[in-house]
Structure 1
Amino acid sequence: MRVVLSTYGSRGDVEPMAGLAVALRALGAQARVCAPSDKEFAERLAGVGVELVPVGQPVRTQVAKGARPSGSGLSERAAAMAAAQFEAVAAAAEGSDAVVATGLLPAAAGARTAAEKLGLPYAFAAFFPSYLPSPYHPPFARPGQSLPEGVTDNRVLHDLDARFMNETFGTGLNAHRASVGLSPVADFRDHVLTGRPWLAADPLLGPWQEPADLDVVQTGAWVLPDGRPLPAELEAFLEAGEPPVYVGFGSMPMHGSGDAAQVAVDAVRAQGRRVLVGRGWADLALIDGADDCFAVGEANHQVLFRRVAAVVHHGGAGTTTTAALAGVPQVVVPQMVDQPYWAARVAELGIGAAHDGPTPTYESLTAALTKALAEETRVRATEVAARIRTDGAQVAAELLLDMAGRT
């Protein structure tokens, strides 16, 4: 059996697909991943023996330009993204048995169009519940979208969100579909998600609430087991003192990142803790030469997080799940999309603190760290870690083989 996995987004959109590809390989299936052409994505996939089919420009290059996502030119960018993903997936899926898509919805629309053109089964996977319409949560904020104030009915808000997607993404998608001989779709969102999407999130961390309008299949998070050792210099720093607090914001640009690093280091030091700075795409750096701080680039978070006192991060699905599995308290400083959702869940579960807003100050981060470093939070994080599932990728792989008829 051969499967194409399609995504367009940041590291958090690519890493789970690698996890699913490895799980499929363990069941005797072959998988290739259509994803952005970032060097780090290629290296990560190559490191676990998964083929990358590069699509479009590197995401990190776009993030480095420093602009927040906006609605200007969004329709044109979405149409180009859908067309590029279609071309890559259609070529990669020749002779394959199924297509699974995730990531930005225009890219997923291109992947579904390719699957339809080739007559292949298709599934869409979301990595957090609020990516899917539900009466229990509102849609997340999209660039260029303005939902009416005072409306609290989530079904109404999701209907408005679907209308926005039709107006912004639907015309471009249907023009492309016409160019490849396919009929137009009436509802962009429902076409991409299907009536039975998968939710690749842990049922405890990110539960799907029933009853809902969609027949959602919750597989659990797609975790890619990571056996890489930590760099020698990082090991030396960890061994040299008490567990530090890790501060890193992954693929987030963190505008004013110099200020963010200063605030974070000062706030952690005020707790009497050492600091481990994850450079990430914001390129965070040390603020001085003191030996209580160390900066690290790419590292195995599954191993590292078990050796720190707390993790301060942006609240991506992957980082939140990895920290939860490690049983380490978290401080989530949410920036966009799913991150406010994960910040709220961390606070609700009692395994850390949700920072109020995307820009930490010394005072606000100190308050959040005080809560996260409390003994009761550490105990609760340990308890929750024992309940997090690690078989999500295997569950999804089995579903996919069944969907494609195990050919």
Structure 2
Amino acid sequence: MRALLSTIGSRGDVQPVVALAVRLTALGQEVRVCAPPDFRDWVEGLGIPFTPVGPELSSTGKTSPSAVPPTPEQRGQLVAASVAAQFEAVTEAAAGCDVIVAGGYLVIAARTVAEQMGIRYVMASYCPIALPSPHHAPPVYPMLGEKPADGSVDNSTLWARDAQRWNNTWGSLLNSHRAAAGLAPVTDVRSYLFTDKPWLAADPTLGPWPEPAAQDVVQTGAWILPDERPLSPELEAFLDAGEPPVYFGFGSIRAPQDLSRNMIQAARALGRRAIVLRGWAELALLDDQPDCLSIGEVNQQALFQRVAAVVHHGGAGTTTAAARAGAPQVVIPQHVDQPYWARRVHELGIGTAHAPGAPTADSLTEALSHALRPDVAAKAELLAGEVRPDGADLAAQLLIAADS
């Protein structure tokens, strides 16, 4: 089997796709990844062929949170450019393939390319709330100009509005490419892209599908990439020099203003040392005191087993990694699926969800003091054994079985 795994987004969107690619390769299948160019060196370093799509994304994390958002016209231009780039890259990368797997929510071109080529197509979501259900509201996409609902509208109405937004945002662009290929127009973009049986690449303990008896969603478990990299000597020395520190990281998204200062002040207020991930936002330390360490990209699987708590933005990957390691969590959600993961961490009792709004030193101190309680640590350690490690393997087996 020859598979193209395609995604658009930051590392949280790309890493699950890479995990599946690595597993398929180990099972003797031919795989190519199509993703933003930021990840070329990483993917090719794993021996996986790579096709870049669109511009580099790392600069977006460095943009000031106070920057003026794009106008509707500018947003429309960005959307159009993304769709055009996807059709070009996915068409090139899919040549000779038997299946295209779209990872995440915004791979607009993949199903049409699969249709043109007469090959299979699978869409996989990383979070339950991205998939329509009366049990939850749709996620909010601020990059498309959306705002959270105020709670006065029922979920069915919100999902109907969400479908219309998908049509308004992507419909004419998608159908123009389809017309050029001699294909009929799509009237319901979201349903077309998601298919009538999407996959859910989320852990069933952390992010269960709310309708377990339904047959219209295939929950494989999270696609986790095994990481055997050692921690750096500097990080090992820091960890060995005292009690377990608190990890702070915002990954590849924009950080709220003064986040570094407030995080470090919160740790110090509780007598804790701190490790700060620079990330795409380039978070920096306040000073050169020995109780704090700044690090770059790291093996989370190894590090999270040695920290007192993980404070993060609520990405699916980081939430799952911290849960697998048994580390208590403080989640500071910003958008899309992050509020869902924050809520799940709170509901499971393995940490706390920071209140809406930009965090202050005081609010972070309060949230972190709750996460550091012994009962929370005990629940986090107990739940760690329930998180499935084999989601990528199950997904790979399903793809291979469908091809046989």
3-state SS of the aligned residue for 1:311? strand
Residue number in structure 2 paired with 1:333: 332
Report the alpha carbon displacement of residue 180 of structure 1 after superposing the two structures with TM.
Answer: 2.2
Calculate the aligned-residue CA RMSD, in Å.
Answer: 1.7
CA distance in 1, matches of 2:239, 2:12: 26
Which amino acid in 1 is paired with 2:309? A
Runs of 4+ in 1 over 6 A off after TM superposition: 211-214
Which amino acid in 1 is paired with 2:382? E
Tell me: CA distance 1:98–1:378, structure 2 relative to 1, closer, same or farther (3 Å).
same
1:161-172 equivalence runs, <5 A: 161-172=162-173
Residue number in structure 1 paired with 2:11: 11
3-state SS of the aligned residue for 1:159? helix
Report the alpha carbon displacement of residue 156 of structure 1 after superposing the two structures with TM.
Answer: 1.2
3-state SS of the aligned residue for 1:157? helix
3-state SS of the aligned residue for 2:72? coil
Report the alpha carbon displacement of residue 151 of structure 1 after superposing the two structures with TM.
Answer: 3.6
CA contact (8 A) 1:36 1:56 kept: yes
CA contact (8 A) 2:221 2:391 kept: yes
Which amino acid in 1 is paired with 2:373? A
CA contact (8 A) 1:277 1:284 kept: yes
Identity %: 54
3-state SS of the aligned residue for 1:192? helix
Aligned length: 399
1:90-239 equivalence runs, <5 A: 90-105=91-106, 108-142=107-141, 143-145=144-146, 149=150, 151-210=152-211, 215-239=216-240
CA contact (8 A) 2:105 2:125 kept: no
CA distance in 2, matches of 1:189, 1:68: 29
CA distance in 2, matches of 1:147, 1:350: 25
Which amino acid in 1 is paired with 2:187? A
Which range moves more in the overlay, 146-155 or 128-137? 146-155
CA distance in 1, matches of 2:71, 2:399: 35
Report the alpha carbon displacement of residue 14 of structure 1 after superposing the two structures with TM.
Answer: 0.4
1:74-85 equivalence runs, <5 A: 74-85=75-86
CA contact (8 A) 2:105 2:130 kept: no
Tell me: CA distance 1:386–1:213, structure 2 relative to 1, closer, same or farther (3 Å).
closer
CA distance in 1, matches of 2:37, 2:224: 22
Deviations 1:282-334 (A, max 9, x none): 11111011101100001100101101100000000000000000000000000
Residue number in structure 1 paired with 2:48: 50
3-state SS of the aligned residue for 1:109? coil
CA contact (8 A) 2:11 2:252 kept: yes
Report the alpha carbon displacement of residue 51 of structure 1 after superposing the two structures with TM.
Answer: 2.0
Which amino acid in 2 is paired with 1:323? A
Report the alpha carbon displacement of residue 194 of structure 1 after superposing the two structures with TM.
Answer: 0.4
CA distance in 2, matches of 1:369, 1:150: 28
Residue number in structure 2 paired with 1:294: 293
CA distance in 2, matches of 1:329, 1:148: 29
Tell me: CA distance 1:69–1:218, structure 2 relative to 1, closer, same or farther (3 Å).
farther
Which amino acid in 2 is paired with 1:17? V
Q: Which runs of 5+ in 2 are unaligned?
A: none
Which amino acid in 2 is paired with 1:113? T
Residue number in structure 2 paired with 1:379: 378
CA contact (8 A) 1:100 1:122 kept: yes
CA contact (8 A) 1:134 1:212 kept: no
CA distance in 1, matches of 2:233, 2:139: 41
CA contact (8 A) 2:314 2:331 kept: yes
Residue number in structure 1 paired with 2:366: 367
CA contact (8 A) 2:245 2:274 kept: yes
Report the alpha carbon displacement of residue 214 of structure 1 after superposing the two structures with TM.
Answer: 7.3
CA contact (8 A) 2:61 2:281 kept: no
TM-score normalised by length of structure 1: 0.94
Please state if 1:317 is matched with 2:348.
no
CA distance in 2, matches of 1:288, 1:179: 58
Which amino acid in 2 is paired with 1:169? W
Report the alpha carbon displacement of residue 53 of structure 1 after superposing the two structures with TM.
Answer: 0.8
Deviations 1:242-300 (A, max 9, x none): 110001110111142xx111111011111111111111111111101110110000110
Tell me: CA distance 1:126–1:68, structure 2 relative to 1, closer, same or farther (3 Å).
farther
Tell me: CA distance 1:255–1:382, structure 2 relative to 1, closer, same or farther (3 Å).
closer
Residue number in structure 2 paired with 1:274: 273
Q: Which runs of 5+ in 1 are unaligned?
A: none
Residue number in structure 1 paired with 2:59: 61
CA contact (8 A) 1:174 1:184 kept: yes
